[in-house]
Amino acid sequence: LQLNKLEEAANAAHTFFMANPEHMEIQQDLENYKTTSGKVSLIDREARQHMEDYSAGVRHYDKEEYELAIEFLERALKGYYSEDEDCQIMCEGPQRFEEYEYLDYKAGLYEAIADHYMQVLACKHDCVRELATRSGRISPIENFLPLHYDYLQFAYYRVGDYVKALECAKSYLLFHPDDEDVLENAGYYEGLLEGTVDPATIKPRKEAKVLLRRHKLESHLLQVAAAGLGYTYTEPNYWNRYGARQDEHSVPSSISSEPEDGPRLSLTKKPMPKPDRELKEGGPLLYSDVKFVYNSQQLNGTQRVLLDNVISEEQCRELHRVASGIMLAGDGYRGKTSPHTPNERFEGATVLKALKYGYEGRVPLKSARLFYDISEKARRIVQSYFLLNSTLYFSYTHLVCRTALSGQQERRNDLSHPIHADNCLLDPEANECWKEPPAYTFRDYSALLYMNADFEGGNPHGVKAVTKGQRCAVALWFTLDPLYRELERIQADEVIAMLDQEHLGPSEMNINPKDEL
């Protein structure tokens, strides 16, 4: 950009954004580049051609442009197998012995040779994941290779090439031999070919058979080696059938050109994984003053609710007053005063810190106790409204305020907090949210208790820019897993229990909140 090479700058920004889609400032930079340079088509410098072809094929498939879909998906398959060969070759080089520290590694010659070849084998086995992972991402596209054949079997059917349709269906069934939808499709294609071609002569594609046979052999050798050499190996499953082709334009036989009494062509959506628990809502709100506003359907989602009067206006004012006495700049963000945007100051405090300040007399103890009580009230409401049959634990509790910095608000187009999800990584290109670190994958529910409205800007998840005044809220995260209970909350519970004992003396208090979580 400083060299006035706008096109290169735009492509570099686009490449970064493809790997970091949650980075909203880059997205805004991209819009500026497009406006300034007039460039609409951007290039991802890290893109893999076989993935680009696959994405193009799926786009054409979704538009029912089946001949173009076939062209790109076949090209994607050719590129995939070529990349697989390269990946296998690259694994033949030096390997790191991940189970050992180099300076302490004292294996004998034969053990070292065995270690090396097991590392090579593990590297080759991992090519399935490598080739299914978009640049900059951690998680692969589930079921990536089989999906090519799944799309192709139906695309070939729609252009009237039933031999190719059956060939691709049989290729897909190599990976998932019990897939009822594709088994039914294969039987249907065989019926269409009767009298012209012997369906038994149509075989799955050779390259798919070879790769799958090699992959199974690698898995067997790795498991045998793990048992013999004494290390842990867990076989990953990157061909999970929950990564399925999603068809919005299913064609049952009753509306196709085939007779109604012929074989049915079942091409419906495959089911997504069921959650470990049944999702419910609409339970009691527990407190008569709490007002119901909107449910999940009205909020265009699932497991959502908007409530009012969770705390009174006077309690809001009291909590807002005490906030200035307990909050620290950059709390929870290692002291960074502006962790999300340079145009605002971020301050925060935990429940335990509030109780400590209350006990020490820096703020009224009653006000510090209020912070504890209202967060517990919110937890009870969430647990009751969503009809949870197990205990909901605090994962993190944070009173936060964002204050607009004067002189920095003109022509702002950034966000106070980038749009994000707390327990997964947003990937808008793949239309997925990946449950993997650094996301807090153990968080099951969250709640935001808004304390004031005398500011400008604010709210969705992200938070719009605060351009005037101060926006304060209590942010609450909950988990159903007791292993991830908030440590400071447990300590705060103990403090409250001690405070409730009338005989408790100051010498018996021991409040040591962590500086950071």
pLDDT at 52 over 70: yes
Beta partners for 470? 403
Is the residue at 261 inside a domain? no
pLDDT at 20: 62
Q: Specify whether 210 is located in the same domain as 296.
A: no
195/322 same-domain check? no
Q: Please check whether residue 65 lies inside any domain of the structure.
A: yes
Instruction: Tell me what pLDDT residue 105 has.
Output: 56
Of 214, 229, 244, the position where a domain reaches its end is 229
- In a domain? residue 164: yes
Residue 497 has a pLDDT of: 86
Inter-helix orientation angle 49-62/144-158, to 10°: 40
240 falls within a domain: no
Q: In this predicted structure, what is the pLDDT of residue 251?
A: 34
**Does 368 share its domain with 479?**
yes
In total, how many domains does the chain have?
2
Dihedral through CA 269, CA 273, CA 276, CA 280, nearest 10? -30
Q: Is the pLDDT of residue 26 over 90?
A: no
- Give the residue, 493 or 268, on which the prediction is more confident: 493
Please report which confidence band the pLDDT of residue 505 belongs to, taking 50, 70 and 90 as the band edges. very low
Question: Is 450 among the domain residues?
Answer: yes
Does residue 268 form part of some domain? no
| Pairwise pLDDT comparison (265 vs 464), residue with the higher score | 464
Of the two residues 312 and 405, the one the predictor is more confident about is 312
Residues of the chain with pLDDT > 70: what percent? 72
Q: If you average pLDDT over residues 297-306, what whole number do you get?
A: 88
Q: Tokens at residue 463, please? A: 């938070």
Of 175, 209, 229, the one marking the end of a domain is 229
Residue 227 phi, psi (nearest 5)? -70, -40
The answer as to whether 13 is a domain residue is no
Over the chain, what is the mean pLDDT? 78
Q: How confident is the model at residue 72 (pLDDT cuts 50, 70, 90)?
A: very high
pLDDT beyond 70 at 494: yes
Domain that holds residue 333: 291-503
| Mean pLDDT value of segment 412-432 | 69
- For the cut 60, the answer to whether the pLDDT of residue 458 exceeds it is no
Using CA atoms, how far apart are residues 474 and 476, in angstroms rounded to an integer? 6
pLDDT at 211 over 70: yes
Report the distance separating Cα 345 and Cα 466, nearest Å.
10
Strands 456-457 and 344-349: unpaired
Q: Do 355 and 443 belong to one domain? A: yes
Q: Is residue 407 part of a domain?
A: yes
Task: Say yes or no: 435 and 339 in one domain.
Answer: yes
295 and 223 inside one domain: no
3-state secondary structure of 474: strand
463 close to 472: Cβ distance less than 8 angstroms: no
Instruction: Determine the pLDDT at residue 464.
Output: 64
Rounded to two decimals, what is the model's pTM? 0.52
| Structure confidence at residue 148 as a pLDDT band (50, 70, 90) | very high
Residues 328 and 212 in one domain: no
Which position has the higher pLDDT, 237 or 347?
347
Confidence band, pLDDT 50/70/90 cuts, at residue 261: very low
Residue 269 has pLDDT above 50, yes or no: no
- Active-site positions? 471
- Asked if residue 435 has pLDDT above 90, the reply is no
> The tokens 């007779």 sit on which residue?
259
Q: What is the pLDDT of residue 390?
A: 86
Report the pLDDT value the prediction gives residue 36, as an integer from 0 to 100.
65
Residues 216 and 315 in one domain: no
Rounded percentage of the chain residues whose pLDDT exceeds 90: 29
Residue 223 shares a structural domain with residue 337: no
Structural domain ending residue among the three candidates 178, 213, 229: 229
- Report the DSSP pairing between strands 456-457 and 466-468: antiparallel
Same structural domain, 328 and 219: no
How many whole angstroms separate alpha carbon 51 and alpha carbon 77? 9
- Examine the pLDDT at 215 and tell me if it is beyond 60: yes
Q: Indicate if 69 and 210 belong to the same structural domain.
A: yes
Q: Say if residue 209 is in the same domain as residue 296.
A: no
